[in-house]
Amino acid sequence: MSEDRKSNRLSRLYYDEDPKSLAAQIADKNVKKKKEKIPKITPFPKIGYEDMTKMEDMDLDGVLGNLKERYENDLIYTYTSSILVAINPFKRLDTYNKGWVKYYKGHRLGKLSPHIFAVAEQTYNSMVETESNQSVLVSGESGAGKTESTKLILQFLSARTDRESNIETMVLESIPVLEAFGNAKTGRNDNSSRFGKFIEIQFDSDHYICGSKITPYLLEKSRLITQGKGERNYHIFYQLTEGAPQELKDQLFLKGAKEYSYLNQSGCYTIKKINESEELEQLKSAMDLFEISEEIQLDIFKIVATCLHLGNIVYTQNGEESKPKDGASQEALQHVATLMDIDPEKLEYALTHRKIKMRSEVIHKPLTPGVAKDQTNSLVKFLFGEMFVWLVKKLNESTYSESSVNFIGVLDIFGFEVFEHNTFEQFLINYANEKLQNFFNHHIFKLEQVEYEREGIDWTAIDFVDNQPCLDLIEMRRPPGILAILDEESKFPRATDETFYNKLIDNFAGKHEYFDKPKLARTKFFTKHFAGNVEYEITGWRDKNKDELPEHLTELIRSSENKFITILYTPSEDDEEENSNNNNNKKKGKLTLGGQFKNQLVDLMTMLGETSPYFIRCVKSNMEKVANKFDDKLIYGQLLYAGMLETIKIRRMGYPIRFKNEDFFRRFRVICPEVPMGADVQASCTALCNALGIKAPTNYQLGKTKVFLKQDMSNELEERRNVALTDIIVKVQTWWRGIFPRYLFNQKRQKSIVIQTWWRYAYWRGKFLRERAAATKIALWWKMAAAMKLKAELAEQKRVEEEERKRKEEEERQKMIKEMGEEKVKALEEEKKKEVEAAQAAEEEKIRALASGEISFGEGGGKEEPEDVPNNNNNNNNNNEEEDKKKKKKKKKKEKLKKDARGSIMMKKGATLEVPINVDGRITLGLGWKGGQWDMDASCLMFRFKQHRDDVYYYKPKSKDNSVTHRGGYAGLIRINPEEGDAEQIDINLSRVSAKTNTLLFVVTVFSPEGNFSSVQDAYVRLLDTNTQVEYCRYTLESSGNETARIMCRLYRYGYSKWRLQAIGEPSQGRLYKHMIPRVEPFLDDMPPRRKFRIRIHRGKLNDIKRMYKGKSGKTSVNTYCEVRFDTDKAKSKVIKKSLTPQWRSTVEVKGYGTVLEVNVMHKVRFGNVGKKSLFLGRCLIPLTTENVQIQETWFKLEQRDKSRDRGRTAVTGEIKLTIQEFII
């Protein structure tokens, strides 16, 4: 398990399911935050030499005087070419706000006054221009201000991009977390970093900060146990003991700092102007930002408190064993066990014993009080060190970006240290400083002069102090150096500090100029570092170098009930694999602390060598750490061992800026564009330099492949290049300001012409339409007036004619009265009136019969049938009586299907009923009974004729095609109480049933071996609507007997989309559904012979009775085609658009094993792949009862509206003409 995966596991222990991260809250605040005002600044005054390479007095006294003059005027920064010298002022200067960020933004190094922001800006510009990684090496002794300089570089890079984001905030907030757990007060520095760190600020392709990564180096664990006079332990201990609220201190069993052995040795508990409570709150806020939950924070604080309590355990001899000395030690032991969730007895035993493996047995050896204390101290170092490593990885996990393109690295590593007692940690720290000084020498002196010699530059070599021999003394393997001898002694079982010391004396005393030994001491030696001689005390080096914890203690920690502690101190799989590889390949086991640190430094130097480095030399102004005091002697020593004079010389005499010939010509030709590019690039560069007016060798030298420039000349050429580019840009902008508005004007003019043309057309067209409409109205009015006049004339004419008719009728009537008498005339009039009334009544009765459906158009109305309808079987007048009998019989059959009060159809055994399918094709079958004392279950057997296809019980609660689902009952999704409703409910989606399945049989079986249906009462089967639960039909079963199964009902296809329900209710035997498969064969249809049909679809006559598809013109918008289905086969005719009398004239063929042919008339809604395609209009089912069917041009009526297909949107009646021919297969 890698450390990153370990961190993820710890995060998952305590994170909420859906928390709003603090980073998101900060983002919300940033959105609402008002734009901050940028303060105005006053540029630095010109005092002394800002760049010491321009000084006249080239000695250390002159350098010191220049630095002192600037320091007394609060000018703490000075250049040495591109190297920045920074003197710690020990006070806050108001030169780091956003105004100064804006002031240095966009300016090259050396153009403005020296400042750390100028170096940061130069690294950023170099990264953007060269698309390469950059690095800044901040060096100096402890207390010189390296950590503060690192913070200022991070602050500038975060503010430089003018974009506020969580990443910039998190990069800055990671510093307080690391300082709390890795910084401490020393004799030289109140906030000394007791570990080194390399911070990578990652940038994306747009050169914005997208992440960061922190690489730690060598945490000083010995400080946990002992501190020198006037020093403190790590800040976090004092923040918890002196600054934590009482509630938290009670949880951690903490008291004041003076109560703990690890904190009261030096007598120093506070730092001036530092409020521990505020520091703790700042730490917790930063941890919240990195999404470290309060639970994990508490676990971290528990580990810190555990370290303090372990330090208070004092041991005394108890026979052959050791034990806690007194009650205070016992109480501290109990606190440790409680905080780590470990058994107190096991903890005490593990601290006072050591497990030794002797071949096949394990021996637990009791320890003396002194050794037990050393083992306890080792446990403290292990707990704190592993927690610090996890914390760094957690910060990296929150900020690291996989998509970064380049980075700017800032190295803040421990400064050179010389204490009264220098141990193994000081040796490694000074070794790291030697390595960095060697890198500086290599980059500034060695590479520089090698480059001059290779390019043939006229150059006088400069001598410098090379510290490579000192490095060889420390890190050489052959012959062995100090670290190699220490590793060898650390792995040798019988080695001691004395044997280690003797080997050092034998190998180096009097043989190596950088090694010496004191005359009287037997445990000390001298090393001559670049910064001076340091005396080292070797006691305990072997144990520190091993950096191991006894195995039985690690096992004890992993047995903790606290998940955080268990995961944190479990070794990762990557570490185990790495150790295994080391064992197999190198056969040397785990690397020692010195070996690990050496490898880290090698990797660091390799990475720095792949970047473009910039150097910041931090200088400590005085030992008292007070403001406005310049200690000449102290600063002189720092300048001397840093090689500042040699650096100034090589920077002054050398040419720090260099370009390849091609790059130089391309970059600066813009100043003199008249210089041509020739075949000889070197000659072209010489011509360009002459044209630019620069002199050699004062300002430049021309090498074999490169042009070397002085820093001042490079800055001057860059300025001239910027001026030339500005002139070109102004010309381009001027041209663009002319061409772009002209382009916009032409576009607008073309659009105006189009609009004017359209307006002229629209205006005259509108005027014409208005005049035509007015003329039409006038014509209509005139026609109306003429028509009204004609109407009046016709009315008058009709009135005259009516009066004439009445006069003649009256004359005729008077004449008849004279001839026949008045009584006979009245009798004739009365008889004529009755005949008219009878005819009128017959007409009304016919209209009523048509409306009620008792007769159809063409029946008994005296109207002729359509020409195309054949008079087959003489079914006109001769068969009217026969048809009437059929209708009456059908009507009686319908009357037999009685309905109960709920509107449900009551069926009888053996009856068949057409299934009313829902709009979505779903129905529900309910099976019910009472009084059953056995476990009974229902299932559905699916068949294609007599071929078994599926048994839903095997796939309960659903069939394989998801068409049948047990919703309630023994095998259903929910259990149902038979006393409250159906015992079983089965949902059936007939639209999903496979085309090859034509029969569904439902059976109920008894599971119990001794059970049967004898106790079942009031059994029934019912069909209901799935959506509304409205019952459609029901039938009851006969009283049950001794059978073990019941065949309840059958659902089978009639045609393709029509289904029918058959009531069965027959008893059977068998308790498993596979036993029921052969018993239901009597209720299955035999597979009919395979048949093939050719159908000629001639034409149709449709009646859209709801006029749902009438367009604005009154014409229909129905687009029809026919779909023929037979068994599993189907075929379609062509589409006829917008016609209620379509003539398809299509021939299709279908084949299969069915007995019913189904023809559907469909409406094509849309053409293409968008939206719904078709709607159902009507259907006719043609039974195929005879063999060799031959039907010639016969009209078939469409069924009435089918809710299962049309979704309530259509209402079409009519008929279609078909020719059906069967082919014998």
Q: Which residues are part of the catalytic machinery?
A: 142-143, 147, 189, 192-193, 415, 417
Give per-residue burial for 634-662: e unless 16+ CB within 10 Å, then b.
bbeebbebbbbbbbbbbbbebbbbbbebe
1163 beta partners: 1120, 1175
Contact (CB, 8 A) for 922 and 1027: yes
317 beta partners: 322
- In this structure, the number of other CB atoms found within 10 A of the CB of residue 850 comes to 15
CA pair distance 408, 1129, nearest whole angstrom: 72
In order of 62, 243, 249, 302, 335, the CA distances from 254 in angstroms are: 55, 11, 5, 10, 10
Return all residues near 447 (Cβ < 8 A) that are at least 6 apart.
none
CA pair distance 1006, 1020, nearest whole angstrom: 16
Q: Which two tokens stand for residue 143?
A: 């207390």
Region class of 1018: left (phi > 0), else alpha (psi between -120 and 50), else beta? left
Region class of 335: left (phi > 0), else alpha (psi between -120 and 50), else beta? alpha
CA pair distance 1160, 1124, nearest whole angstrom: 6
Measured CA angle at 259 (ends 257, 264), to 5 deg? 65
Query: What string of DSSP letters covers 455-512?
Result: HT-----------HHHHHHHH-TTTT-HHHHHHHHHH-TT--HHHHHHHHHHHHTTT-
Place of tokens 């009765």: 845
Give per-residue burial for 1143-1169: e unless 16+ CB within 10 Å, then b.
ebebebebbbbbebbbbbbbbeeeeee
Return all residues near 1128 (Cβ < 8 A) that are at least 6 apart.
995, 996, 1152
In order of 55, 905, 972, the CA distances from 1030 in angstroms are: 105, 12, 21
In order of 86, 911, 1144, the CA distances from 896 in angstroms are: 111, 11, 41
Query: What string of DSSP letters covers 284-301?
Result: HHHHHHTT--HHHHHHHH
Counting beta carbons within 10 angstroms of the beta carbon of residue 146, is it exposed (0 to 12), middle (13 to 18) or buried (19 or more)?
Answer: buried
CA pair distance 306, 236, nearest whole angstrom: 13
CA pair distance 380, 377, nearest whole angstrom: 5
Contact (CB, 8 A) for 1060 and 914: yes
CA pair distance 869, 1098, nearest whole angstrom: 13
Q: Which two tokens stand for residue 434?
A: 């030697």
Q: Are strands 361-366 and 353-358 parallel, antiparallel or unpaired?
A: antiparallel
Q: Are strands 706-709 and 657-660 parallel, antiparallel or unpaired?
A: antiparallel
> Rg (Cα) of the chain, in Å, rounded?
52
What are phi and psi for residue 44, nearest 5 degrees? -65, 145
Return all residues near 86 (Cβ < 8 A) that are at least 6 apart.
76, 77, 116, 145, 149, 616, 617, 618, 619
